[in-house]
Amino acid sequence: MRRTKSRWQGARHFKRCSLPVVGAALAGLGVAHATPKQDPYGTWTLQGENDAVSTLKGTSDQYYTSGLRFNWTSGTDNLPKPFADLNRFLLGEGMQRVSLGVQQLIFTPRATQMDRPPSGDRPYSSLLLGTVNFINDTDLSRSVAGIQFGVMGPAGLGEQLQNGFHGAIGDTKNRGWRTQLQNQPIFQIQAGRIWRLPVAHLYGISADVLPAVSGAAGDYRTYADVAGTFRIGQGLDSDFGNATIGPGLDGTDAFAATRPVAWYVYGGVEGQAVAYDATLQGNAFRNNSPHVSKTWDVGSIHAGVAVMWHGVRLSYSQNWQTAQFNTAKAGLFNYGSLKLSVKF
Exposed/middle/buried for residue 314 (C-beta within 10 Å: 0-12, 13-18, 19+)? middle
Nearest alpha-carbon partner for 191 in 208, 215, 209, 174: 215
Q: What is the pLDDT of residue 54?
A: 64
What per-residue confidence (pLDDT) applies to 55? 60
Say how many C-beta atoms besides its own lie within 10 A of residue 193's C-beta.
24
- Count of the separate structural domains present in the chain: 1
Exposure of 184 in the CB half-sphere (CA atoms within 13 A): 22
Give dist(CA 145, CA 92) in Å, integer: 11
> For each of the chain's 344 residues, which pLDDT tens digit applies?
444 444 444 444 444 444 444 444 444 444 444 667 789 999 999 999 988 776 655 456 788 989 999 999 999 998 999 999 999 999 999 999 999 999 999 999 988 888 898 989 999 999 999 999 999 999 999 999 999 999 999 999 988 888 888 888 878 888 889 999 999 999 999 999 999 999 999 999 999 999 999 999 999 999 999 999 999 999 999 999 998 997 766 668 999 999 999 999 999 999 999 999 999 999 988 878 899 999 999 999 999 999 999 999 999 999 999 999 999 987 788 999 999 999 98
Please list the residues that pair with 106 across neighbouring strands.
Answer: 66, 126
Write the DSSP symbol of residue 245. Answer: S
Q: For residue 329, what is the domain's CATH number?
A: 2.40.128.140
pLDDT at residue 59, rounded to an integer: 52
Q: What is the structure's pLDDT at 26?
A: 47
pLDDT at residue number 52: 78
**pLDDT, position 159:** 86
Q: Which domain holds residue 262?
A: 2-343
C-alpha dihedral (228, 230, 234, 239), degrees to nearest 10: -10
Angstrom distance (rounded) from CA 134 to CA 127: 22
For residue 221, list its beta bridge partners. 277
Angstrom distance (rounded) from CA 298 to CA 251? 22
